[in-house]
Every structure is written in structure tokens, then in C-alpha cells.
Amino acid sequence: MSLLKNKYKKTKLGNLPIEWKMVKISDVGNVITGSTPSTKKSEYYGGDYFFVSPMDIDNKKYVESTVRKLSKKGFRISRIVPKNSVLVTCIGSTIGKIAMSNRKVATNQQINSIDCYDEFNCDYIYYALDYYFNLRKRMFIAHQAVPIINKTEFSKFPLPVPKIEEQDKIATIFSTWDKAIELKEKLIEQKKEQKKGLMQKLLTGEVRLPGTDGNFSMYKLNQILIVRHGRNQKKVEDENGAYPILGTGGQIGRANQYLYDKESVLIGRKGTIDRPFYMDKPFWTVDTLFYTEINEGFYPKYIYYLFNRIPWRRFNEASGVPSLSASTIGSIKVSIPNYKTQKRIALILTKVDEELFLLKKEVQLLNEQKKGLMQRLLTGKIRVKV
């Protein structure tokens, strides 16, 4: 890549190189709006053919699986989208989710797909839409009971397009970035599976660490810790406060006072009751989140990993919003080794968590770099040599 001196022209999408064309999506390819085969006919479903809905489009370039699949009969009566088409969600709260098909697929009616003509690089169109569509989609949304960009309006959406040789090179650069991100994400998933297996072996005593007696003793949680309630945060809220205010989903604000200042494991009282987390700094918690005071002789970080193995939803006490009580938590029985072994196990698992954290930071950095590169390459501020 190089920074070239170019003449620019003003367009709806900002200043662009003078030789780039402004086209509509309808100029780029055939637009296909999906449909749903009758759900009353079971013979249309349960096969091997991908049936893509917005829930199947995540942050990855290609749709790799679908929640629902069609039978051969169901696929035959659907609107089939060719391989390498660009899929865009155009109905509902998920408008703007974008992906590509790596095989022939069918989609539901919430998705418009673009089967690109030969003079366009479908990968380039995917990246250009990923950048421009979410910047300008509000101008095309019909605000009704359910937000929608219909096929006609979608087909009018403008895109800047350089010559095919430049499209090819830009697409190759972004594809290389995506592959690097994908490899890191796969490594993260592998590391998570390794951690899961390691927790199973170490926390159950299936694998004993050298130099430990290997004995585990049975306790109720109320013999290990005291469950404490959070409190209303209104009087302590301060956006410049030194201490985090915690809810079941994590930090929700800042406080000028703390409720507890020692190591603690926290668990939801209402709502999210199965995602414990660990704090080793002063904090405030709200009423929907329990915190714990860990008794002497028990290593707090070990208790955190132990909490991650408890099937909390089995102890749910409500038919509506999931709920736990302090007494229920206290009555749960667990098997625990001596303090020295607890500490050694916790340090091993902490090391794995640190490795996961670094890998996630690397993915975040790659995504930020890609975002910056998109802003430059897809506006022509930086040009590739052709």
C-alpha cells in the first residue's frame, strides 16, 4: 500500500477518488429477499441445508452454521442464495448485521442477499457494506411498528467502487486480517476447552498435584463463607468515584464509598445467577448481587473457580426471573482440599486466565487495526498499487 496523491470528488459518502464510481446495490448484483417455508409442514425442515436468520449472523465473515436447517424439499421451494453472496439483515432490531455465504443457502425474509455480478469482487462488496451500511442505514429505514429497509430502498443504497483490480487487492488485505483474527479466536476457544478440562480434573481431585496429600473434605458453603446482600447505590453514586458499583452483568457505575474491601466471590441474587465473578479490590454491589466474606483457611480465588463449576440454575427458586437466596447458597455441598492445595490449583487456573486475557487483547487490537484500515482503504485515503 502507499499514500498516493489523488484528485477527489464530493459524494454522498464523502470525498472519494475521482476515478471511483458511485453505484447502487442494484448495480452490483441481483438482490434476493428471503422467505420462510411453511413451519406447519415438518417435511420442509430437519435436513442439512442452511436456513439463515439474523441469529446466525455473528461477527464472523462467513455463516458457519444455522440454528434451523431445511430438508431437500424445503430448500427446493426456498429462494436459494448462491455461494459467495453478501447477506444483510434488513428487518428488526438487528438491521445491519452482515455476512457472506460459503455455500448455497436459503434465508428468511429478514435478510436481503446480493449475488454479485462478475465485474464486482463479492468480498470487496462485503467489506464496503460492512463499513458504509451501518454509517448510513438510518436514512433508509422505514420507521414503523418493526423497523425495515425494504428491497426497493436497500437496492438504492450507494457504494463506492474502484476498478476490479483495486477491489481485488483491498479484499485480499482485509481477508488476510480476518484470517489472523479467526486463528486467534480459534486459539481462544481451544484454550477455553483446555481450561474447562483442567478445572474438571483439578477441582474434583481426578488429577492430584505432586506434593499434596490429595485429600478432599466435604463442606456446606455456609461453613466456608458468609453470603452478604448488596445495597442501594443511590447515595454513593459518583461518576468520578474511586470504586466500582457492581450488578449481575458487571460494573454499572462508580461510587465514592465501598461496601467491602477484601477478596470476594460474587453471585447474582436475581437475574443472572450463573455467572460468578471475583473481586480483589474495594467495591459496592447492588441488591441483585450477593457478595461473600470468605472464612480463614479457604483461598478466595479457589472458591471463585469452584463457584464456576456449580450448576446454579438447578438451585433457581423462581418461576419467572431466576433467583437465589442466601440460605440456598449456604446449603450447597462442595468437596475441597486443604488450603495449600487450593492455592496451588487457583494459581494454575489463574495462569490460564491470564493467557486467555492476552489472547483476547490481541484479537481486540487486530479488530481495531482492521477498523482503522477500513476507514482509510474504503474511502481512498490510502490506495493500493495496482
pLDDT of residue 207: 87
The three-state (H, E, C) secondary structure of 56-125, written as one string: HCCCCCECCCCCEEECHHHHHCCCEECCCCEEEECECCCCCCEEECCCCEEECCCEEEEEECCCCCHHHH
Q: How far is CA 12 from the centre of its chain?
A: 32
Helices (H) and strands (E) in the chain, counts: 8, 21
The domain made up of 1-8+163-207+338-386 has a fold known as Helix Hairpins (1.10.287)
Sequential pLDDT tens for the chain (386 residues): 444 455 888 888 889 999 999 999 999 999 999 999 999 999 999 999 999 999 999 888 999 999 999 999 999 999 999 999 999 999 988 999 999 999 999 999 999 999 999 999 999 999 999 999 988 888 888 777 888 999 999 999 999 999 999 999 999 999 999 999 999 999 999 999 999 999 999 999 888 888 777 789 999 999 999 999 999 999 999 999 999 999 998 999 999 999 999 999 999 999 899 999 999 999 999 999 999 999 999 999 999 999 999 999 999 998 888 999 999 999 999 999 999 999 999 999 999 999 999 999 999 999 999 999 999 999 999 888 88
Are the beta carbons of 3 and 382 closer than 8 angstroms?
A: yes
Contact call for residues 14 and 69 (beta carbons, < 8 A): no
Domain locations along the chain: 1-8+163-207+338-386, 21-161, 217-336
8 A C-beta contact, residue 131 and residue 160: no
HSE at residue 45, side-chain half, CA atoms within 13 A, is 12
H-only helix segments in the chain: 25-28, 72-76, 122-136, 151-155, 164-204, 300-307, 326-331, 339-377
What pLDDT sits at residue 6? 58
CATH number of 217-336: 3.90.220.20
Q: What share of the chain is helix, strand, coil (3-state, %, to 5)?
A: 35, 25, 40
CA distance linking residue 116 with residue 31, whole number of Å: 9
How many other C-beta atoms lie within 10 A of the C-beta of residue 286? 19
Cβ atoms 43, 53 nearer than 8 A = no
Amino acid (one-letter) located at 204 = T
- Is residue 121 within 8 A of residue 168, CB to CB? The reply is yes
Q: Which class in CATH covers the domain with range 21-161?
A: alpha beta
Q: Which three cell numbers stand for residue 118?
A: 462478475
Per CATH, 21-161 and 217-336 having the same topology is answered yes
